[in-house]
Amino acid sequence: MAVQPSRSDRRELVRERAFTAAGLTAAVALVTTIVLFLVQLFITSRASRAAFGIPFLWRSEWNPVTEQFGALPMIIGTLITGFGALLISTPFALGIAIFLADYAGKKAAEPVKYLIGLLGGLPSVIFGLWGLFVLVPIVSRFEVWFGKLVGSEALVASGTTGVGLLAAILLLAIMILPFSASLILESLLVVPMELKEGALALGATKWDTIQNVELPYVRRSMVGALVLSLGRALGETMAVTMVIGNGMRLPHSLFDPANTLASAIANQFLEATSPVYIASLIQLALILFVIAIVINIAARVILRRGVQQ
Amino acid sequence: MEEPSIVLETQKINAWFGKDQVLFDVSAHIPKNRVTAIMGPSGCGKTTFVRTLNGLHLMTPGARSSGTVLLEGTDTSTMDIVDVRKHIGMVFQRPNPFPTMTVYENVLAGYRLTGQRLAREKADQIVETTLNKVGLWTEVQTKLFKAGTSLSGGQQQRLCIARTIAMEPAVVLFDEPTSALDPKSTAIIEELLSDLKSEYSILFVTHGLQQAARISDYVAFFMLGELVEFGETKRVFVGPQDKRTEDYLSGKYG
Amino acid sequence: MTARKLKNSLMGFLVAASAGLLIAVLAVIVWHIFISGVRYLNWDFFTKAPAPFGESGGGVFNAIVGTFLITLVAAAIGTPFGMFAGIYVAEHRGQRFADIVRLCADALQGIPSIVIGIFGYTFLVARFRSYSALSASVALAFMFVPTTARVTEEVLNLVPSGLKEAAYALGARRSSVVWNVSIKTAAAGITSGLLTSMARIAGETAPLLFTAFGSRYIEWNMLRPMSALPLQIYIYASSPYPALQQQAWSAAFVLVLLILLLQFGAKHLIARVLRVKA
């Protein structure tokens, strides 16, 4: 039964080896990319660490003129906008997901899902454009009104621009809404029908079933979905850059101009001339990179466990 | 009927899915140019047995096997698995013609997928003779360049048989090929077997006693992963030697 | 009992209202882009480069060309890596390294676009001492690869295992099964995934800021600075001149149209895949 390898057999073998090698190469390249990013950003931000060391993380001064740099204002700005946006958008995202999973029939759900995809697919810069010319003027009017309400003349005077943390939070909330809504919807759809029907058969109302059966069942994957959305919000760049106002100091109120890690880089990198300034901006990118990787891996681990349960 | 020679011999085949052992020391001699039915209750390991013969069993994640398979005297573990599969063809439970290929291309799929190029005339000739062997030529002559999946279920299964025998294998494994078909298509395929066995040695997995009795010359009876009884079909059905076979044949296991 | 029923109705209303709110927000944004965008559209806008500073008129042809070139080259670089990585993960399902690769692809998808831009700058622009469209394409390829890998894997997992087994049973090797059976069966799904990924990178701005940099001229040379629609929108929107801000809206309209076109193509293909499967 031993067969002499023919020419076509040999060709097949060569192709097989090339194919295996290509697959492995691509897979290794993908894993290496993360290391490559880390190493590259670490090396090119040396000058910043040489000048400020670890305290860079909690120094609150960011002054290109005196070349004193600290990341605290940006870290605070990133956390406030990220969590603020998550706080505002989550109830709506949850509502939309529940609506699509349990209330809307197939006929109503399909177009809504399509629109969610549409909103999620709009580029960041488009949201920025809309935020800058539509949302910011509204926020500005709200600031003046709010200033008069609480009797703060400073606010009435300074807050008229509208750019700042609040505008960024609102815009981010809109941007992550489709993302977190579809992630939550995905987790709701795996709840077994029998569980829901069992509760309904016991005389529970639809909302009782959702509150007591469905939501507890997906608790874990919902946390995963929200962590992923947070990661998305923390790294969002263009839209935030366009409405946050490039403030260098620690913000004192929601109406202050500020910066996130991402927006500081986008706003200032092309203007940065000195090596320490450039390295400090790259250092911000490194911090953002590490935060993003940690959050994403954590979220995936949570989600995977959620599925396994 | 004179004693046939042996085409396939298995020695102490064991197989596992993860930690579950599904085959225990299966040793059998499969006769050449005969139909051997592999029967037994569901979950007895009959499908796993035929899948160990062409190495498909090992493609399931976590699956293992041990033992020796001799194909016309050659230990298959010394051969490239690809060559083993060219000599041991397989027809599956559900008809699975390649949806991206035409009827014509489906018949020649084995050549194409193994990188063998055929001259146009040779290809035409293989398609015609093979489709004739499975009684499909007159039915699909005008549909040769339509999608293989456009045929009826029974025709699709015969197309899959054609695809397998086009490679001129020594052995053809049938894994319950009629369980997804209507009675009429089943009858056509059963009749086909008696023609095919003049050229090929056939292993036919079935859980139907009637079917085994109708089509086979030899029968291997499996239970809980063991080969309980092997012999000529007439002999086994009339006078089973093992108590378990007897119980099964008299309907005690359902 | 009545309190529970009241709560039930109230909650039903609230979840429907949040869906309504989403649609309203989307409608408002699309409305603004449409109204403000269409108003300043004219033939010159599609065919001319920006007018010299101080003159009125001009268009964004340079940015349209740039978006197409940069996106296509990024996809050309990223597709083989992404597809092979996806094939690797799909073919080694359940193995530890494949799981790691999948996790890395997921993590890479979460890298903020500005980080990719900075990486592109330090890795390519700083090294070769020149802004270039090619460095932008490479940066975008880093976004393209993980999405392509995931889509390829997911689509390949949908290929019925019976088909693959049939091919193996005929004596085909793995490469042949993947190419001639899996990929062909999943072709529409993979193409659709590629189009979706392209739609995504076509709208990216941050990775281009420090790589493509932008240009006022119609540029075809990938080794030189180049403009792109998202970049042009950002630059015009941040400018203090109303005429340029108006052009930003029109460019936004064109960009959204382009992205919708790609997404529509993708959706159409997906529908075809589902029909074939049924």
Domain-embedded: residue A57:
yes
Residue C226, strand partner residues: C213
Domain-embedded: residue C58:
no
**B201 min Cα distance to partner chain C (Å):** 16
Interface test with C, best of B57, B113, B168 (most C CBs within 10 A): B113
CB C25 within 8 A of CB A93: no
Q: Are C170 and B82 inside 8 Å of each other by CB?
A: no
The partner residue sitting opposite B74, judged by closest CB among A2, A8, A9, is A2
Q: Are C173 and A181 inside 8 Å of each other by CB?
A: no
CB A285 within 8 A of CB C113: no
Residue of A nearest to B114 (CA): A12
Domain-embedded: residue A159:
yes
Q: Which domains, and CATH codes, for chain B?
A: 6-96+169-249 (3.40.50.300)
Cα distance between residue A203 and residue A197, in whole Å: 10
Contacts of C176 in chain A (CB under 8 A): 12, 15-16
Which position has the token pair 């042949």?
Answer: C176
Residue of C nearest to B166 (CA): C170
Ramachandran area for residue C30 (φ above 0: left; ψ -120 to 50: alpha; else beta)? alpha
Domain-embedded: residue A178:
yes
Contacts of C278 in chain B (CB under 8 A): none
CB C203 within 8 A of CB C193: no
Q: What are C17-27's pLDDT values in tens digits?
A: 999 999 999 99
Q: Does pLDDT of A1 surpass 50?
A: no
Cα distance between residue C86 and residue B136, in whole Å: 39
Reported confidence tier of residue A31, pLDDT bands at 50, 70, 90: very high
Q: What are A229-284's pLDDT values in tens digits?
A: 999 999 999 999 999 999 888 888 888 899 999 999 999 999 998 999 999 999 99
Q: Does pLDDT of A66 surpass 70?
A: yes
The partner residue sitting opposite B99, judged by closest CB among C93, C169, C185, is C185
Host domain of residue C218: 63-226
Q: Does pLDDT of C151 surpass 50?
A: yes
CB pairs under 8 A between B and C: 72
Q: Does pLDDT of A3 surpass 60?
A: no
Q: Write the DSSP string, A48-110.
A: HHHHH-GGGGT---EETTTTEE-SHHHHHHHHHHHHHHHHHHHHHHHHHHHIIIIIS-HHHHH
Cα distance between residue B85 and residue C165, in whole Å: 11
Higher pLDDT, C267 or C168: C168
Q: What is the pLDDT of residue C106?
A: 93
Cα distance between residue A117 and residue A110, in whole Å: 11
Q: Are B56 and C93 inside 8 Å of each other by CB?
A: no
Residue of C nearest to A171 (CA): C25
Contacts of A15 in chain B (CB under 8 A): 115
Host domain of residue A172: 45-308
Length of chain A: 309
CB C88 within 8 A of CB A264: no
Q: Where are the beta strands (DSSP E) in C121-276?
A: none
Give the CA distances from residue A57 to residues A71, A287, B103, in Å, rounded to whole numbers and listed in that order. Answer: 5, 9, 67
Our CA dihedral for B28, B32, B36, B38, rounded to 10 degrees, sits at: 40
Listed residue (C207, C107, C131, C202) closest to A33, CA to CA: C107
Higher pLDDT, A306 or B157: B157
The partner residue sitting opposite B98, judged by closest CB among C168, C169, C181, is C181
Q: What is the pLDDT of residue C100?
A: 95
Domain-embedded: residue C132:
yes
Domain-embedded: residue C276:
no
Domain-embedded: residue A33:
no
Q: What is the pLDDT of residue C273?
A: 62
Cα distance between residue A184 and residue A230, in whole Å: 13
Q: What's the CATH number where C105 sits?
A: 1.10.3720.10
Q: What's the CATH number where A115 sits?
A: 1.10.3720.10
Cα distance between residue B177 and residue B157, in whole Å: 7
What amino acid occupies position C42?
A: N
> Taking a contact as any Cβ pair under 8 Å apart, which residues of chain A between 15 and 34 contact chain B?
15
**Total number of domains constituting chain C:** 1
Cα distance between residue B26 and residue B65, in whole Å: 11
The predicted complex's ipTM stands at 0.92
Sequence-ordered list of residues with C-beta below 8 angstroms from that of B123, at least 6 positions apart, any chain = B108, B111
Domain-embedded: residue A28:
no
Domain-embedded: residue A187:
yes
Cα distance between residue A163 and residue A215, in whole Å: 37
CB C86 within 8 A of CB C102: no
Q: What is the pLDDT of residue A108?
A: 85
Domain-embedded: residue C9:
no
Mean pLDDT of chain A: 90
Domain-embedded: residue C212:
yes
Higher pLDDT, A251 or B122: B122
Contacts of A116 in chain C (CB under 8 A): 22
Say whether C115 sits in a helix, a strand or coil. Answer: helix
A224 touches chain C (CB under 8 A): no
Mean pLDDT of chain C: 91
Cα distance between residue C244 and residue C233, in whole Å: 9
A11 touches chain B (CB under 8 A): yes
Q: What are B29-50's pLDDT values in tens digits?
A: 999 999 999 999 888 899 999 9
Interface test with B, best of C92, C170, C173 (most B CBs within 10 A): C170
Domain-embedded: residue A18:
no
Listed residue (C188, A8, A22) closest to B110, CA to CA: A8
Phi, psi of C171 (to 5 degrees): 95, 15
> Taking a contact as any Cβ pair under 8 Å apart, which residues of chain C between 106 and 165 contact chain B?
160, 162-163, 165
> Taking a contact as any Cβ pair under 8 Å apart, which residues of chain B between 108 and 147 contact chain C?
109-110, 112-115
Q: What is the pLDDT of residue C278?
A: 41
Domain-embedded: residue C100:
yes
